[in-house]
Amino acid sequence: MTKPRKQTYTMDLFLKNIKEQDIRQDQDVQRLSDQWSNSMMNELTVTVLNDGYIPPIILAQEPNSQKWTVDGLQRGSTFMKFRYGNYKVTTSVEEPIITYCAKVKDADGEIMLDGNGDIVWEDRQFDIRNKTYDKLPEELKKIFDEYQIETVVHEGYSMAEISKFVRRYNFHKSMNTSQKMFTFVDRHARKIREILRKRFFVECTGYTKGERKNGTLERILLESVMCMFHLDNWRRSGQIGEYINENATETEFNVLENVIDRLESIVTQQHYSIFNSRDSFIWFTLFYKFSKMGCDDKRFADFLTYFIETIDGIHMNEFCGIDKKDSTKDKLVIVKKLDKLENMMCAFLEIPIIRIDEDMTSSILEFVHEHVTSSATLEDIEQYTEVLQAFVREIGQSELWENENMPSLISIVAWSFEHDIDLDDWIVDYCSRTDSYFDDQLMNFETMRKDLEQFIKSADVA
């Protein structure tokens, strides 16, 4: 058995060998070409144009000198498609701008020289999106054609022995979606791995052995940060990694870590089943919402027990009214689950919860514009609602929280923002004195505003 030898080709010569069948890519047991997606072919093409590293292609040679591709068929096929098959790099390419050096030419097309007689060079950039080989500038065509292809050649083998090589070299598993997603999260990867070493993930039986090593737990933490802090910009699985890397902060991951630490102290064996690969990020987000309610963490554990007893083995999707055809990772499905669970949790904890639909939000905005400030936006209304919800959780049940009274309540919060007034003491005092409101929301708003002003004056005198 001879030792394999290394051989380096230029890209132009390597592809010429394939075209002339000196190197064949259709070995008997070799899988077919065109197995790669456009995104995979994009990245390989860009790697070549940036003169990046590509692992050696493995060849095997029969005694008659015929060479066969053992490992590298998809790479070779991609090179052929781009060079001769009119393949167009798609818009999904991760880094589309190629930087290269070019000789500067004058108006007559002559190469320019400096005062020392040296050629003048300049850096240029080229957007590779929607471009074929023929659309490349000459400098990039040259870079592609002269790229060095490393090969390792096993010489002197029969076709049966070469088939064994094909099986041996291709006996591997490529990255799945979760693992590939994680490669985009270089800014937060170390923090994620630190969190996954916590006792919660070590002891939780809701995750299978395979999920612990195939990237699933990493995906769960990415989904959790996305759901907790960036739900409005929710991305499907393949896109979350890149979004989190660009938009998530260290503080957000610290908050997630705190959520895990607190859950670790209250979650027991009976709760582990609901913390699975599908719904864990939902529960982490729900606890994050719970953490703002000022309740003892043990009450969340009580709710988990109540939830498990209530559903009694019913699938989460069925319990939340999710259609079997709907993807569990669609934004609308996620929002529906969270709403269902948050309503259930607040009812269990006897905490009122404010629900304002889109039409009501618009009418409240109009009310605020007319009676408080014309500069308020829909985002401001959401903020005022969150402030009001915090008061609702602190004060508890009251007729004041009925939807019909929301325009005046949210407007008094808006008024406090405009005048830089802290409502905390007043609203607790006000709710202790009254449990009703005027149907006329302007009258109700004016009544509360005057009461607040009097409360402030009394506090100043005191």
pLDDT for the residue numbered 1 = 56
Measured CA angle at 18 (ends 16, 19), to 5 deg:
65
Amino acid at 146: E
For residue 439, count CB atoms less than 10 angstroms from its CB and return exposed for 0-12, middle for 13-18, buried for 19 or more.
exposed
Q: Is 55 exposed, middle or buried (0-12, 13-18, 19+ CB in 10 A)?
A: exposed
Q: What is the pLDDT of residues 434-449, one digit of tens each?
A: 889 999 999 999 999 9
pLDDT computed for residue 182 by the predictor: 87
pLDDT band at residue 295 under the 50/70/90 scheme: confident
**What's the one-letter identity of residue 326?**
D
pLDDT of residue 292: 82
Tell which residue, 100, 1, 23, has the closest CA to residue 68: 23
Residues in the chain, how many? Answer: 462
Q: Give pLDDT, residue 179.
A: 84
Query: Which residues, 6 or more positions from 353, have their beta carbon under 8 angstroms from its beta carbon?
Result: 342, 343, 346, 389, 392
What does the buried/exposed string (b/e) look like for 422-433 if buried means 16 or more CB atoms within 10 Å of the residue's CB? ebeebbeebbee
- b/e map of 130-159 (b: 16 or more CB within 10 Å)? ebebeebeeebeebbeebebebbbbbebee
State the average pLDDT for the chain: 90
Distance CA 334, CA 87 (A): 38
> Is 291 exposed, middle or buried (CB count within 10 Å of its CB: 0-12, 13-18, 19+)?
middle
Higher pLDDT among residues 412 and 326, named by residue: 412
- Identify the CA nearest to 95 among candidates 247, 248, 244, 242: 242
Whose CA is closest to 260, among 209, 297, 229, 232?
A: 297
Task: Give the pLDDT mean for 161-182.
Answer: 82
Phi-psi region of 88 (alpha: psi -120 to 50; beta: other; left: phi over 0): beta
Give the pLDDT confidence of 355-376 residue by residue, as tens digits.
787 788 899 999 999 999 999 9
Query: Which band of pLDDT confidence, cut at 50, 70 and 90, is reported for residue 462?
Result: low
- Predicted confidence band of residue 186 (pLDDT cuts 50, 70, 90): confident
Q: How far apart are CA 105 and CA 127, in angstroms?
A: 21
Q: Yes or no: say if 98 and 46 are a contact pair by the CB < 8 Å rule.
A: yes
Helix pair angle (189-196, 216-229), 10° resolution: 110
pLDDT of 115 higher than 90:
no
Tell me the β-bridge partners of 60. Answer: 68, 154
Q: Are 103 and 119 in contact (CB under 8 A)?
A: yes
Question: What is the rounded CA–CA span in Å between residue 317 and residue 336?
Answer: 10
Per-residue model confidence (pLDDT) at position 39? 86
- Buried residues in 193-226 as b, exposed as e (16+ CB within 10 A): eebbeeebbeebebbeeebeebbbbbbbbbbbbb
**What's the whole-number mean pLDDT along residues 283-312?**
92
Give me the residue label for tokens 């190629």.
Answer: 98
Contacts 24+ apart (CB under 8 A), 329-338: 329/223, 329/236, 329/237, 331/231, 331/234, 334/227, 334/231, 334/234, 334/282, 335/231, 337/279, 337/282, 338/227, 338/282, 338/285, 338/286, 338/289
Q: Which two tokens stand for residue 413?
A: 């919060």
Give the confidence band of 339 by pLDDT, cuts at 50, 70, 90: confident
Greatest C-alpha distance within the chain: 105
Mean pLDDT of 98-104: 95
- Strand order, beta sheet including 5-10: 5-10, 148-155, 57-61, 67-71, 23-24
For residue range 10-44, list pLDDT tens digits in order. Answer: 999 999 999 999 999 988 878 778 888 898 999 99
Using the predicted structure, report yes or no on whether residue 396 has a pLDDT greater than 90.
no
> What whole-number percentage of the chain has pLDDT above 90?
64
The pLDDT confidence band at residue 181, using thresholds 50, 70 and 90, is confident
What pLDDT, in 10s, does the model give residues 43-93? 999 999 999 999 999 999 999 999 999 999 999 999 999 999 999 999 988
What pLDDT was estimated at residue 17? Answer: 96
Q: What is the pLDDT of residue 305?
A: 95
The pLDDT of 142-166, averaged and rounded, is 93
Q: Is the pLDDT of residue 313 over 80?
A: no
Long-range contacts from 105-110, C-beta under 8 angstroms, 24+ separation: none
For 139, residues 6+ apart whose C-beta sits below 8 A from its C-beta are: 100, 101, 102, 124
70: enclosing H helix or E strand = strand 67-71
- Statement: residue 213 has pLDDT above 60: yes
- Rounded-to-integer distance, Cα 353 and Cα 430, Å: 19
Tokens of 205: 């039986």
Mean pLDDT, rounded, for 156-161? 90
Residue 231 pLDDT > 60, yes or no?
Answer: yes
Mean local confidence (pLDDT), 271-287 = 94
